[in-house]
Structure 1
């Protein structure tokens, strides 16, 4: 898995992030079974990474909603870079995955143990992405395996 990851770039400022983000294809234009990963420096997008080992992830699912997928990923990426979601350095990164049945956006967090903090991050995620049940979006929290 790790051998198939390609680093597109690293950044320290919003401006540097935008230089990369603005030339990427929107997630809906990726080939099926493709992912974008946006993780903090030094954290790999895998459960075996020490930062993720005791954590979990908020998973949004949607089917055949390319505009919503692109908007949600863009807003999440900007929110992460702008540090709008992070509570006490809990956020490790995010993933958007294009799949044949259901597309997913995942927000990986460092610790699953503080239920109040996990739920607070989930509420902030919903607010940031401006989504609701009526959008046909599923949302659940999954713990690392």
Structure 2
């Protein structure tokens, strides 16, 4: 489940990275949030495309699963430090006023991300070519 990549393997969130706890929240609340991300009435650059890929049955199943997980969140002891460190703040939270997501939103709290094995299988030329492709403005071609 993609949720656990950012919200932690136990759904308890990664507070230092800005990912909230999902474990133990009411299923109705979770469903509503996913529906709002899917409809676009709740904006968040990472969550919107993920929610748009879900149908109603998947939203209900995910919400029920997360609601059943135990909820005992760990205290966030780093939030004050992060708030005063601009580099950590950018890496963890991004700067949404400039449309910059936090690095950890794709690369995870350890920085390794989900694509490390894929990237290892690519040549340096392929990595550069793919990076160049995504750096270009969107064309009329079908998007990946």
- Asked if TM exceeds 0.5, the reply is no
Q: Tell me: higher relative CO, structure 1 or 2? Use CA pairs within 8 A at least 6 residues apart.
A: 1
**TM-score after normalising by structure 1:** 0.25
Which entry has the higher C-alpha Rg, 1 or 2?
2
**TM-score after normalising by structure 2:** 0.25
